[in-house]
Amino acid sequence: MNENLLGFLEKLYDNSSEAIFFFNQEGKTLYMNEAAKSIMAADVYEQLLAGREGAICRICRGFTSEEEQRTCVACYMSDPAMEVSSFQVYFETEGRGMIPYSASIETIDEERGIRVFMLRDLTEQQRTQEELHQKLMLKRVIKAQEDERKRISRELHDSVAQEMLSSLVDLRVLKYMNLDEEAMKKLRQTEGSLMRLLDDIRHLSVELRPATLDDLGLEAAFRTHFKSIEKNYGIAVHFHPELESKRYDSEIETVVYRVCQEAVFNAVKYAGVDEIIVRLHEADGSLHLRVADDGVGFDVEDGTPIGTGLGHYGMRERADLVEGKLAIRSEPGKGTVVELAVPVEREDGR
């Protein structure tokens, strides 16, 4: 072996952030590097070097098997024949608490049974992975919820409402059958009740998920929604769409619709205003939504939410799904502005 490689190996051993241990046939620690030393308490280090049995177990918190997150069953350390190139193990480190490591254990000297055990910190990677996983799950949950809402909404609209409508038509036929005044009066009342019921079902369907969002796009869906806000809560929503009925990816439209719905609803509930301004426009390759009121406002920094606190969280999560940016600006007494910017590909602008 040439001089240089030895030097490099030595440097690797000394300077690597990976913890490197050398064990002999009996499982006693022969050497360990600085990185290994740094993760354990001084007394454990002493014990390990002294070759005390089970010293490593004092800081080891088990490895991940198919059955368990952390286990000692069939520990790789105890079986000298075991050759595992990669597994996950947890160590109780000095000062940093329990940390997940990617570990490998290999025999590097058959004759003397020398094995090397290496640990690579996985904290960062695991966090990234968890975040990715969570995002993915959330995306699926939101999609499942939207799909389910869409299904029920369609069912109500296409099936239940249709049936009801045909009953209503049947009922109207009765009007031409020479009924006496008393029966006619009753008939008109029943007709009224049925019509009201039909309206209720349609409202329910729109509330779940407006079919107009899929069929006609954001502008039409917003118009209907704001009209119902005005009717139900006596609050006027001034809507300024500047999109010329342009359509976007269904996922983007859904996010923009839901975020706007939430922002407007928050204003209805908490702002104490009777006017809300909503602007929708496209600029710099992004779709911009702006919901503004000049109501009571709130302290953005204050962590304690007025409502469930899920509203803002939900808006952010939804915005995240389409790489959108959400900004909430507010101050007590100075109103609230919610802005969402979602990048939209130019070439996809159907």
Partner 1 sequence: MEDRITFNFQREIERLRSLCGADYVALATVQPAERRFELKWTHVAGNLTDRHRRIKLQSGKGVAGLVFKTGKALFVADAEMELGKENLYQYPITVAEKLVSFGAIPLYKYNRVGGVLLIGSRKKDGLTEEHFREFRDHVGTEFGPFYSKEMVKE
Q: By C-beta, is 285 or 307 nearer to partner 1?
A: 307
Q: Could you tell me whether strands 236-242 and 275-283 are parallel, antiparallel, or unpaired per DSSP bridges?
A: parallel
How far is the C-alpha of 111 from the C-alpha of 318, rounded, in Å?
Answer: 60
Distance CA 49, CA 36 (A): 12
Taking the complex as a whole, the smallest distance from the CB of residue 274 to partner 1 amounts, in Å, to 5
Write the DSSP string, 146-211: HHHHHHHHHIIIIIIHHHHHHHHHHHHHGGGS---HHHHHHHHHHHHHHHHHHHHHHHHHHHH--H
SS3 224: helix
**Token output for 298:** 């709130």
CB 135, min distance to partner 1, A: 30
Considering the complex, state which of residue 69 and residue 232 has its C-beta at the smaller distance from partner 1. 232
231/346 with CB nearer partner 1 = 231
CB of 16 to partner 1, least distance (A): 57
Q: How far is the CB of 266 from partner 1 (least distance, A)?
A: 10
Q: Which is nearer to partner 1, 260 or 341 (CB)?
A: 260
82 vs 204 by CB, closer to partner 1? 204
The minimum distance between CB 236 and partner 1, in angstroms, equals 6
Q: 280 vs 214, 297, 334, CA distance in Å?
A: 18, 22, 22
Q: How far is the CB of 191 from partner 1 (least distance, A)?
A: 8
SS3 21: strand
* DSSP line for 38-103: HTS-HHHHHHHHTT-TTTGGGTEEEE--SS-SSB-TT-TTT-TT--EEEEEEEEEETTTEEEEEEE
Comparison of 200 and 345: residue with beta carbon closer to partner 1: 200
- Interacting residue ranges for partner 1, rule: CB under 8 A: 185, 189, 191-192, 195-196, 199-200, 203, 230-236, 268-269, 272, 274, 307
